[in-house]
Amino acid sequence: MEAALLAWFERNGRDLPWRKTRDPYAILVSEVMLQQTQVERVVPRWRRWLERWPTVEALAAASPAEAIREWQGLGYNRRALNLHRAARHVATRGWPDDLTELPGVGRYTADAVSCFAFGRAVLPMDVNVRRVVERTGASFSPAAAQALMDLGATVCLARVPRCGVCPLAERCPSRGRRYEPLRKQGPFEGSFRQRRAQTLRLVASAARRLDELDAEAVRSLARDGLVSVRGGIVSLPA
């Protein structure tokens, strides 16, 4: 199966900029940005981030406030803070052997950076890779990681797989199956997540008085370290 998958990938693989580097910092930035955010939105923001902070040392020298401001619009802003903390960890102590020691880096992200940057023999299991592996029941090597990601993202879709164009369909035991929709997150509009995002956007533009803001959202943001409250003034962390 892997040979057929790699042949398909050679013809159909997505042209993504972070696939043209082995820089662990650049790959870490891409993986953190891709958490909960669509590829199309990430590409220009990844380029902009690396133009501003081309090395892990450059990001480490910036303030958390600068990282949070640059992140605005990508959502789940705690990712920016964790990425900044990870950069400071690497800048002072180097890349750890176990990348899950870095702030905000879980098993998948650690495996992705290990595989794509350091060439370690580990297959990163994101939702797309896991879907293909579970449906085919096949084993794949780390060399097939990016091909599996693309197949899961564009062909082996969550609900209605495109089996007619799948290079693995002939030997796939799940061919032709349809799947129930997974439980979706509640709508963003009118949610507490939206209130948090709106509040952080206001504070990112300028420090604000607490009584001008959504107090519940401020408390939540402060618990995550995304804002600081002193003397009734809310600002980004220094």
Mean pLDDT rounded to a whole number for the chain: 95
Please tell me what DSSP assigns to residue 183: P
Both structure tokens of 211: 């009584």
Percent of the chain with pLDDT over 70: 98
The Cβ of residue 232 has, within 10 Å, a number of other Cβ atoms equal to 10
Query: Residue ranges of the domains in the chain?
Result: 1-13+121-182, 23-116, 192-235
Q: Does pLDDT of 70 surpass 90?
A: yes
Residue 173: φ, ψ to 5°: -70, -15
Active site residues: 31
Rounded Cα gap, residues 103 and 89, in angstroms: 8
CATH topology of domain 23-116: Endonuclease III; domain 1 (1.10.340)
Quickly tell me which residue has 């650049």 as its tokens: 26
Tell me the pLDDT band of 186, cut-offs 50, 70 and 90.
confident
pLDDT at 39: 96
Q: Does pLDDT of 188 surpass 90?
A: no
Q: Does pLDDT of 184 surpass 90?
A: no
The amino acid occupying position 156 is C
pLDDT at 71: 97
Is the torsion defined by CA of 17, 55, 112, 83 positive or negative?
negative
pLDDT at 238: 86
Residue 132: φ, ψ to 5°: -65, -45
pLDDT at 187: 82
pLDDT at 189: 85
Q: Does pLDDT of 62 surpass 90?
A: yes
pLDDT at 190: 84
Overall average pLDDT of the 44-52 stretch: 98
Name the E strands within 74-145: none
CATH topology of domain 1-13+121-182: Endonuclease Iii, domain 2 (1.10.1670)
How far are the Cα atoms of 34, 45, 67, 118, 137 from residue 85, in angstroms, in the given order?
18, 19, 10, 21, 38
11-46 pLDDT, tens digit each: 999 999 999 999 999 999 999 999 989 999 999 999
